[in-house]
Amino acid sequence: MNRDLLEKVSMGGTMYLADEERYGKMEYVRCGKSGIKLPKVSLGFWHNFGSVDNFENQKEMVYTAFDAGITHFDLANNYGPQPGSAEENLGRILSTSLKSYRDEILISTKAGYGMWEGPYGDWGSRKYLMSSLDQSLQRLKLDYVDIFYHHRPDPDTPLEETMNALSDIVRQGKALYVGISNYHRDDAKKAAEILRKNGTPLLINQVKYNMFDRWVETEGLLDALVAEGAGCICFSPLAQGLLTDKYLSGIPAGSRATKNVFLHEKDITPALVTKIQNLDTIAKNRGQSLAQMALSWVLRDGKVTSVLIGASSSAQILDNVQIVKKTTFSSEEIEKIERVLHS
How far apart (Å, rounded) are the C-alpha atoms in residues 241 and 257? 9
Residue 261 in this model has a pLDDT that exceeds 70: no
Residue 150 in this model has a pLDDT that exceeds 50: yes
Strands 13-16 and 7-10: antiparallel
**How many Å from the N-terminal Cα to the C-terminal Cα in the chain?**
41
Q: What percent of the chain has pLDDT over 70?
A: 92
How far apart (Å, rounded) are the C-alpha atoms in residues 319 and 4? 21
- Average of pLDDT values for 139-153? 98
In this predicted structure, which of 145-149, 240-244, 310-314 has the lowest mean pLDDT? 240-244
In contact, 332 and 274? CB cutoff 8 Å: no
How far apart (Å, rounded) are the C-alpha atoms in residues 103 and 142? 12
How far apart (Å, rounded) are the C-alpha atoms in residues 333 and 261? 33
Nearest to 320 by CA among 75, 103, 39: 39
The sign of the torsion formed by the CA atoms of 119, 124, 130, 131 equals positive
pLDDT category at 312 given cuts 50, 70, 90 is: very high
Q: What percent of the chain has pLDDT over 90?
A: 87
pLDDT category at 121 given cuts 50, 70, 90 is: very high
Residue 253 in this model has a pLDDT that exceeds 90: no
- Write out pLDDT tens, residues 157-200: 999 999 999 999 999 999 999 999 999 999 999 999 999 999 99
Nearest to 337 by CA among 199, 197, 242, 212: 212
Backbone angles phi, psi at 58, to 5 degrees: -60, -45
CATH hierarchy code of domain 28-240+297-326: 3.20.20.100
Residue 60 in this model has a pLDDT that exceeds 60: yes
- Average of pLDDT values for 205-215? 98
Domain limits, the chain: 28-240+297-326
